Amino acid sequence: MSGDVVAAAEHGLAPRPADDDIPDSSAVSKAGNKSEDNKGVTATPSADLLIRLNDDPALGFCVYAARPYRRGERLFEERTALEATHDAHKEGVRNVYERYCQQSVERRRALHGSFPHLAWANGVDAQEAADARTLVGSLLTATSKGLKIDNRLTAADHMRMRPDWGRPAEETTGHVSGIVSSPKPAIRAKAALYGLFKKPLPPQDVLSAEDEAEKKARAETLEWFSRYAFRLKPEASFNKPGGNYQAAVYLLTDLINHRCSGFQNCRVSADVGTIAVLALRDIAAGEEVTINYSKDVKDFQCKGECCVKK
């Protein structure tokens, strides 16, 4: 039954510049990465999965198998991190931002830990967001309770994956906190406004600054969701107008990179409230875990070995 949903689970990827830092690509497209990855895995034989930033930061976060998996084996299963109704073209029907704001503080922290873009969109300090990366895996279900994840993302890695990244590395490796000018978190802005209303009306420019901050947070949160969400209906297509689609993001599954059809080593199986990642073939320790996002998203530029020729 879930097989039908499998075919449907698909990444909606918004049009982006070719040089954008999208975590959608390959660790093995660069010579030399493989051996280093294996070395890293060997150092922690007790882990099942390893998360780290690729040596080329433009290639993004990657998930590696830290031990061998057999064909058909379930690598892990996790609960939905955030589900929302999405329409790529209609204003006013997309509740992504509202759903994000309704989440508990802990859930939002977990989302920030997994998605630097979302943290940045909502004005969360880079260090604070990076600290929450330990929560990645916190929504794993009982079936994968014993899963051990070796999370090697540093605060600097987290910083590199934010859309505002662009400063020289030496400025960020030592102290990543507080160097980014970002909009004030809309949630905090709302609380501030509530307090303000008990007093005489503030100057108009204060109010409009809060409005602008929320407007930007809303737009960037939607942009983030469009890029990372898996759609949950087979007939739905993210990049075609004319419908509302239920879509969801996942803390761990969303860190897995794309390979074109035939090159991926895993598939996803989505069900109500959960998603599982299963091995399509035997996977060796040290190998990058990959899935197929979509076949028909034209704006998506695959950087995997399936598309990038050496």
CB of 259 to Zn ion, least distance (A): 6
CB of 303 to Zn ion, least distance (A): 8
80 or 264: CB nearest Zn ion: 264
Q: In terms of Cα–Cα distance, which of 62, 85, 81 is closest to 231?
A: 85
Least distance to Zn ion from the beta carbon of 297, Å? Answer: 12
Name the closest residue to Zn ion (Cβ). 302
Identify which of residues 236 and 306 has a Cβ nearer to Zn ion in the complex.
Answer: 306
| Nearest partner of 68 among 43, 46, 38, 48, judged by Cα | 48
- Cβ proximity to Zn ion, 26 vs 274, nearer residue: 26
State which amino acid sits at residue 18. Answer: A
Residues 300, 24 contacting (CB under 8 angstroms): yes
Q: How far is the CB of 260 from Zn ion (least distance, A)?
A: 3
Choice between 60 and 304, CB closer to Zn ion: 304
Of 122 and 294, the one with the shorter C-beta distance to Zn ion is 294
Cα–Cα distance measured from residue 33 to residue 251, given in angstroms and rounded to the nearest whole number: 24
3-state class of 277 per DSSP?
A: strand
Q: Is 81 or 297 the residue whose CB approaches Zn ion more closely?
A: 297
130 vs 297 by CB, closer to Zn ion: 297
Separation of alpha carbons 138 and 172, rounded Å: 28
Question: What does each C-alpha distance from 244 to 10, 90, 132, 303 come to in angstroms?
Answer: 15, 9, 31, 30
- Whichever of 8 and 260 has its CB closer to Zn ion, that residue is 260
Residues found near Zn ion in the complex (CB under 5 A): 260, 302, 304, 306-307
- Let me know: does 217 contact 97? Beta carbons within 8 Å: yes
> By C-alpha distance, which of 9, 79, 70, 68 is closest to 41?
68
Least Å distance, CB 59 to Zn ion, is 13
The packing angle between helices 204-228 and 186-197, to 10°, is 150
* Cβ count within 10 A of residue 39: 10
Q: What is the DSSP string of 38-81?
A: HHHHHT-TT-SEEEEE-SSGGG-EEEEESS-B-TT-EEEEEE-S
How far is 283 from 60, CA to CA, in rounded Å?
21
**Minimum distance between the CB of residue 268 and Zn ion, rounded to whole angstroms?**
17
Give all strands of the β-sheet with 74-79 in edge-to-edge order. 74-79, 274-279, 266-271
Nearest distance from C-beta of residue 73 to Zn ion, angstroms:
24
CB of 162: closest distance to Zn ion in angstroms?
Answer: 25
